[in-house]
Chain A
Amino acid sequence: MYLTSATIFVHNFKMPSTEFSVIVRRMPAHLSKFCRLRRRSYHSYDHLPYNPYTPSQEKMLSSALKHVPEYGFVKQSLVQGCRDAGYLDTTHAVFQDGVFDLVKFHLYTERNKLAALKPQIDEEEGKSIGKRIRRYCTERLKANEPIISKWTEAIAIMGLPQNIPQSLEELAKLSDEIWFLVDEKTSDFDWYTKRASLAAVYSSTELYMTQDNSPRFEKTYQFLDRRLAVVQNAGSSISNMASWASFTCFASINLLQSQFSRG
Chain B
Amino acid sequence: MAFLPRQALRPSHFLRLRQVVHRRVFNVRYLSGSAPLGNSNAESKVGKEQGTQATSKTTHFGFKDVPEYEKEELVREVFSSVAKSYDVMNDVMSFGVHRLWKDHFVAKLDPGRRPGGEPLSILDVAGGTGDIAFRMLDWASDIHNDHQSKVLVVDINDDMLKEGHKRSLTTRYADGSRIEFKVQNAEFLDAVPDNSQDLYTVAFGIRNFTNIPAALRAAHRILKPGGVFACLEFSKVNVGILDMIYQQYSFNIIPLMGQLVAADRDSYQYLVESIARFPSQKEFAGMIKDAGFEISGDGYEDLTFGVAAIHTGVKV
Contact = CB atoms under 8 A, between A and B. Distances in A.
Interface string B64-89: 00000000000000000000000000
Interface string A243-261: 0000000000000000000
Contact of B108 (A57, A91, A93): A93
A79 B116 CA distance: 11
B194 interface: no
Contacts of A93: 108-110, 199, 228, 230, 312
14 contacts: A56-B314, A76-B114, A83-B116, A89-B120, A89-B198, A90-B120, A90-B227, A90-B228, A91-B228, A92-B110, A93-B109, A93-B228, A94-B313, A95-B297
Contacts of B300: 96
Contacts of A128: none
B110 A75 contact: yes
A83 B295 contact: no
Interface in A12-63: 52, 54, 56-57
A87 B109 contact: no
B176 interface: no
A97 to B, nearest CB: 7
Given A87-B225, A88-B224, A57 B120 contact: no
Contacts of A54: 294, 316
A82 B316 CA distance: 12
B226 interface: yes
A100 to B, nearest CB: 10
B131 interface: no
Chain A residues touching B, range: 20 to 34
Contacts of B199: 90, 93
Nearest to A92: B110
A90 B198 contact: yes
A232 to B, nearest CB: 38
A86 interface: yes
Contacts of A56: 294, 314, 316
B312 A94 contact: yes
B282 to A, nearest CB: 9
Interface centre among B224, B295, B296, B299 (most CB of A within 10 A): B296
A184 interface: no
B312 A96 contact: yes
Contact of A90 (B111, B116, B313, B316): B111
A139 interface: no
Interface of B: 108-111, 113-114, 116-118, 120, 198-199, 224-228, 230, 294-301, 312-314, 316
Interface centre among A88, A92, A101 (most CB of B within 10 A): A88
A129 to B, nearest CB: 36
B32 to A, nearest CB: 33
A82 B226 contact: yes
Contact of B297 (A83, A90, A96): A96
Nearest first, the 3 A-B pairs at minimum CB distance are A87-B226, A88-B226, A94-B314
Nearest to A33: B282
A132 B295 CA distance: 39
Interface centre among B114, B225, B228 (most CB of A within 10 A): B114
A101 B314 CA distance: 16
Interface centre among B117, B295, B316 (most CB of A within 10 A): B316
Contacts of A52: 297
A127 B75 CA distance: 72
Contacts of B225: 87
Given A94-B294, A96-B299, 4 more contacts: A83-B116, A88-B227, A89-B118, A91-B228
Contacts of B109: 90, 93
Contacts of B298: 96
